[in-house]
Amino acid sequence: MRLPSLVGIALAALVAGAAALVHAEQGADNKQATAPEVLYDLNALPDPVKAMLHQIGNAAATGEIEKMRPVLESNELKPMVAAAYIDDPIGHWKKESADGTGRDVLAAMLDMMSSGFVLTGKGDEAMYVWPYFAEADITKLSPAQEVELYRLLPAPDAIAMKKAGKYSGYKLGISTSGVWHYFIK
């Protein structure tokens, strides 16, 4: 009985890792070609994406990270929360959080969801990504966009990312079908 569950975990990790690599490669290609259009109108999102955002936002707003568990379990596969497969995203977020409760992670989710976002990829590969900085050249931000970046990150972090030329904070990805693919740094 133990073998099938290990095989299932390995398969899930392989699929999630492959999806992340494909998305990362597409993101790099998109940045080099043309910057995607920054979107702000949540009402223009497909209904499955709005539904997933609503679930994530409602759970995060409670301040109780365990409220996120049903959202995670409603997904086809658990979203990626780190470069390697993590069986318990909530345990991971608690461990990574500043206070051990994960509330700062929930706050980061809510902050990101209030920022602009982009649609990357096409067809079955299409993905909505928050914040749009994850797919933008942050060395070329307008003054208003810089203010938006400072709303998401402490100034020293934002400045370091601008110098590095890459956003490296949390990012959230939801497919057009409403599948939550990742919330990773």
The reported pTM is 0.79
CB atoms within 10 A of CB 145: 17
Could you read off the pLDDT of 42-72 as tens digits, one per residue? 999 999 999 999 999 999 999 999 999 999 9
Q: How is the chain split into domains, by residue range?
A: 2-184
What pLDDT shows up at residue 29?
Answer: 47
CB-based contacts of 170, cutoff 8 Å, min separation 6:
105, 108, 109, 112, 183, 184, 185
3-state secondary structure of 79: coil
Q: Is pLDDT of 20 > 90?
A: no
Given pLDDT bands bounded at 50, 70 and 90, which one contains residue 34? low
Rounded to an integer, what distance in angstroms lies between the CA atom of residue 125 and that of residue 122? Answer: 5
Torsion, Cα of 148, 151, 152, 158 (10° steps): 80
CB 118 within 8 A of CB 135: yes
Could you read off the pLDDT of 94-141 as tens digits, one per residue? 999 999 999 999 999 999 999 999 999 998 899 999 999 999 999 999
